[in-house]
Amino acid sequence: MSMKSYRQELHFRTDKRRDFINITPLVRNVLHESGIKDGLCLVNSMHITSSVFINDDEKGLHSDFETWLEKLAPEKPYSQYRHNGFEDNADAHLKRQIMGREVVIAITNGELDFGTWEQIFYGEFDGMRDKRVLVKIIGE
C-alpha cells in the first residue's frame, strides 16, 4: 500500500466569546471519509485565539478550565495588556497558548486510537466570528 493524505477544514462561529466544543464526531467523520485505516490524524486550530486539545467531556471540568484560564489571563481590564492597544483580545491569545494549538491522534483499524474518556475539543477564546480547524490525515 502507498501512503495517502487527506485534508479537510471544519468551520466554527460561536455565539459567545468563549466556548468549548466537542469535535470528536466531526473528526471521526473526516477520518471515515478519508478511507485511511492506519496512520496519524493532526487536528489544529488555524487561528491564534482558539485551541484544539484532548480531555474529558465533563461540564464541571470545562467550567474549571474557564475559571482557571480567567485567573491566569483575565479578559479585563483590557488596559493590562500591551496588545490591546488596537484590540481587546490579548487574553484570548494567552489562553490559546496555555491550551495548545493542536493534537495528533493515532489511527488504528480505521478508528481514532484514544485512551479512556479522551475526546477532542475546540476551545474558542475570542468568538463570534468565523474560525477554521484543519484536519490532516496521513497513512494507508
Q: Output DSSP code: residue 115.
A: P
* Interval 30-49 mean pLDDT: 98
SS3 assignment, position 97: helix
pLDDT tens-digit profile of 1-30?
689 999 999 999 999 999 999 999 999 999
Task: Tell me which of 25-29, 56-60, 81-85 is least confident.
Answer: 81-85
Mean pLDDT over the full length of the chain: 97
pLDDT at 118: 98
For residue 85, name the pLDDT band (cuts at 50, 70, 90). confident
What fold, for 4-58+101-139? Jelly Rolls (2.60.120)
Whether 70 has a pLDDT exceeding 90, the answer reads: yes
Q: What is the pTM of this model?
A: 0.96
Q: Which of 37, 35, 39, 31 lies closest to 120 in space, CA to CA?
A: 31
Whether 87 has a pLDDT exceeding 80, the answer reads: yes
- Grid cell, residue 75, equals 479578559
Q: Could you give the CA distance from residue 92 to residue 137 in angstroms, rounded to a whole number?
A: 28
pLDDT at 29: 98
| β-bridge mates for residue 120, sequence order | 54
Give domain limits for the chain. 4-58+101-139
With beta carbons less than 8 A apart as the criterion, state whether 108 and 45 touch.
no
